Amino acid sequence: MERMSLRKSDRMIGLLAAILAITLLLPPRPAKAELPSAVSGQPLPSLAPMVERVIPAVVNIATQTKIQGAENPLLADPFFRHFFNLPGRSAPSERVERSLGSGVIVDAARGIIVTNAHVIQKADRIAVTLVDGRTLQAKRIGEDQETDIAVIQVTGEGLRALPLADSDKVRVGDFVVAVGNPFGLGQTVTSGIVSAVGRTGLGIEGYEDFIQTDASINPGNSGGALVDLEGRLVGINAAILAKGGGNVGIGFAIPVNMVSRIMTQLLANGKVRRGLLGVQAQDLTPELAQAFGISWLEGAVVTRVVPGSAAEKAGLASGDVVVQINGRKIRGASDLRNRIGLAQVGDEIEVRYLRNGDERTVKAEVAEIQKRRVKGESIDPRLRGVELESGEGTGGEASGILVASVRKGSPGWKTGLRSGDRILSVNREEIHSLENLTEAVRKESQQMLIGLQRGEEGLYLLVR
């Protein structure tokens, strides 16, 4: 046993000596771990060169809005003022609200800047600060609340603009970089990937076709740039999905192709003229596809064709399934509404649809939406003092009836309706036209359960 232990010891000593000899022949290693300068012979990538080109085109926007202070209605009563020996009425107080956002220079020669409509909404003064510290006063060109896009203009030397990408070619998984002015900190850059494309039905804007990204987007990033790795503008940062307003890895940007179409109209007219095809539609579901005997999984089923509309003239009918507009796939009713609503009035569009399983193609000319206004009392006495507006047949989901105005103290005011409300249903029946509203109200004359949208909230009013 002792002889065998000696043999093992001799072998161990020999092995250690061999390892020591090999180690001495190897080149010296660094004293601490560090990143390699190259991988597979290629230097480590950096976004810095691209970001350096992008940052000068992204600006900070500061706005000032004068707000008239509300006066207590009792102070407007002369008897009340005399009884309490109050001095004469003074002018209503005024305060100034300030907000911050971001914008992107898209035309350096003309000083054209794109931002979100909510960034400059009702602003009396718009100041643009460039990355070099210069502050320029901006002129409002136009804004479109439905898409949350606005265009402003500045005059200055040495402006830098971003080239535009084709957002239709953006794919899930593409790397993107968000540049903006979160929390007023100044230019900030974050990166991520495209998490989804074509996001709709979020209730954020009227026309939605968002690019979703996990690049950090925080308050103040609104109106900033979402760019690809070549530094081309992919979208305008618009919103975040978080109750507390902070980043949770779900941000949304308006695709630059949509931005470009809206910008063109704002520059030409100062406003957007919405297109009208003259149909209302719902999403194609697997159950409907099976009922229609078709294999398509996505599309918009036409539920109604407005008489005399472009859709009727083109031969579209209820039950047709629209699957493409100008060669672009239609995923559902919201997608159809976007495609038509963002087309310019007078454009000829190619509509591909299915009827009884057969594919057909027609061309239709987009018409301007004709809005109609009626007085509420013509529908029901309880709606006296209310003006209702309809822009039906806008090419997609039924969007209800707009409450254009409500006279204070009127029966309509006492129902709880307010200007800007959108009536979506009456007694749980969906509303898509003034005629439809009239029928729904008269079916149940005792009471009305009105479902409406107010801002970003939905609520019901019970009117007796």
**Per residue in 123-151, pLDDT tens?**
889 999 999 889 999 999 999 988 889 99
Q: Does domain 52-153 have CATH number 2.60.120.380?
A: no
Tens digits of residue pLDDT in 303-361: 888 887 889 999 999 999 999 999 888 988 878 888 887 777 888 999 999 998 899 99
pTM for the whole structure: 0.68
CA 259/CA 268 separation, integer angstroms: 14
Confidence at residue 395, expressed as pLDDT on a 0 to 100 scale: 41
Catalytic option among 118, 209, 228, 380: 118
User: Does residue 354 contact residue 294 with C-beta atoms inside 8 Å?
Assistant: yes
**Cβ atoms of residues 226 and 178 within 8 Å:** yes
Q: Which run of H or E residues covers position 152? A: strand 149-153
**Domain 372-463 is found in CATH 3.30.60.50:** no
Looking at domain 275-368, which of 3.10.20.30, 2.30.42.10, 3.40.50.2300, 3.30.70.20 is its CATH number? 2.30.42.10
CATH H-level superfamily of 167-269: Trypsin-like serine proteases (2.40.10.10)
Reply yes or no on whether 118 is catalytic.
yes
- Tell me if residue 148 is catalytic: yes
Domain boundaries along the sequence of the chain: 52-153, 167-269, 275-368, 372-463
- Common-topology check for domains 167-269 and 275-368: no
Burial letters 287-325, b for 16+ CB under 10 A, else e: eebeebebeeeebbbbbbbbeebbbbebebeeebbbbbb
In order along the chain (464 residues), what is the average pLDDT of each group of 10 residues?
46 53 50 52 80 94 77 58 61 71 94 93 91 93 90 94 93 92 76 87 68 83 91 88 59 92 91 82 89 88 86 92 91 83 84 92 84 87 90 50 90 90 85 82 80 77 86
- Catalytic residue, candidates 99, 102, 144, 148: 148
Q: Which of 195, 216, 222, 433 is catalytic?
A: 222
Q: What is the pLDDT of residue 3?
A: 44
pLDDT of residue 93: 59
